[in-house]
Amino acid sequence: EETAEGQLNELINVDSHDEYENRLSRISSALANWMKSVFNMDTTTKEEFDPVWLS
């Protein structure tokens, strides 16, 4: 698994707009999965975290 710093460095060093969008999408998905696991640790609520809330 890549570190956040490594992913950000890859995002900075892109050659095209399409590559930028692809890498940004990958980072966003990783962040959403991380947020989902963090929010789902709260056992007091029954509602599961929805990544759409971040948009």
pLDDT digits (tens, 9 = 90+) for 32-55: 888 777 777 666 666 776 778 777
The whole-number average pLDDT for the span 5-15 is 83
Structure confidence at residue 2 (pLDDT): 63
**Best CA proximity match to 29, nearest among 10, 51, 53:** 51
Structure confidence at residue 18 (pLDDT): 93
**Best CA proximity match to 40, nearest among 30, 50, 31, 55:** 50
What six digits make up the tokens of 22?
Answer: 């692809």
| Cβ 26 vs Cβ 4: under 8 Å | no
Distance CA 27, CA 42 (A): 24
- Is 0.75 topped by the overall pTM? no
Structure confidence at residue 45 (pLDDT): 64
Q: Is residue 21 pLDDT above 60, yes or no?
A: yes
CB atoms within 10 A of CB 14: 14
